[in-house]
Every structure is written in structure tokens, then in C-alpha cells.
Amino acid sequence: MDNTFHVFTDGSVIGNPGPGGWAAVLMSGDKKWEISGAMASTTISEMELLAAVEALRTIPTESRVQIHSDSELLIYGMLFHIERWRSHGWRNSRGVLLQNQGLWRQLLMMNGRMNIHWQWIRGHSGHPFQTRADALAYQAARTQGCGLQMAA
């Protein structure tokens, strides 16, 4: 029996910065659930990272996880850059402080506690779970943009 968690994440912002939403579709075995949330003023980068953080928070430590995201920043950041950023004081290759350091630090910590496979998936390519995460994130951003709160 496969006990891997499959997670599809996405973020959405109306304007950048602007009202934003994040979402994830999670599956394990025969269980499937969705989570989402919003912020009044944020960036697309923050929403993409927050979607992964919030999804991972719902999964037991030491789990096997496959994160699928259309965010190249998230996926390639975790696969190729995060250790270098950390070792250089959370600065990028130009020496500029990395934005969203707190989220990157959380992802690094979670990555050490779980067996996570980071997988880039083309956005708007028709994958049903990625499409659902995109719709949930957009809905959360739109709701936040109207001044309403969306429960996570």
C-alpha cells in the first residue's frame, strides 16, 4: 500500500502586490482534502511558498510527500538553491537578502523532517488537481480582494 501524500499547490494574487490566495489539494490513499487561505496584501511568491508550507503542516512528520507546483521559484528553489541561500546568510547570488526568508526557512526545516519529492508541473496544462488548486487560490484571492475572509 502506497502511503505517499500527493500534494498540488498554487498561489494567486490580484495585482502584485495585492490581495492574494493560496491553496492545496492533498491526497493519501483513498482520502482527498483541500485547504486554502488568503492575505489582504501579498505577492505571488509569498502565496506560492505559503501554499506549500500550509500543505506540509497538515501532513505527519516523517511522511513521504510529492509536492507538485507550477511555481518554478518554489520547485527549483528547493531543488537547487536553498542550501546555498542558507549558507550565504539567506542571500541570493547577487548578495541581496532573499525575500520570504521565514517561509524558506520553514520549507527547509520541513524538507529535513519529511521525504519530499519536489515536482514542477506546467501551469494551466489541464491537470485536474493543479487546475483545482489554481481555482481555489484564485477564489481565495478574489474573496480577500472583496474584503471578506476565507477560512483555511
Catalytic residue among 10, 46, 68, 77: 10
Where b means 16+ CB within 10 Å and e means fewer, 41-69 reads ebbbbbbbbbbbbbbbeebeeeeebebbb
Q: With contact defined as beta carbons under 8 Å apart, do 138 and 85 qualify?
A: no
Residues 2, 30, 95, 124: which is the catalytic one? 124
Helix (H, G, I), strand (E, B) or coil at 150: coil
Active-site position among 11, 20, 37, 77: 11
DSSP character at residue 95: S
Active site residue 2: no
Of 6, 20, 37, 48, catalytic? 48
11 annotated active-site: yes
Omega of the bond prior to 128 within 30 degrees of 0, cis?
Answer: no
User: Which residue in 6, 21, 70, 77 is the catalytic one?
Assistant: 70
- Cα(104)–Cα(123) distance, integer angstroms: 22
Q: Which residue has the cell 537578502?
A: 97
10 carries an active-site annotation:
yes
The answer to whether 48 is a known catalytic residue is yes
β-bridge partners, 74: none
Q: Which residues are catalytic?
A: 10-11, 48, 70, 124, 134
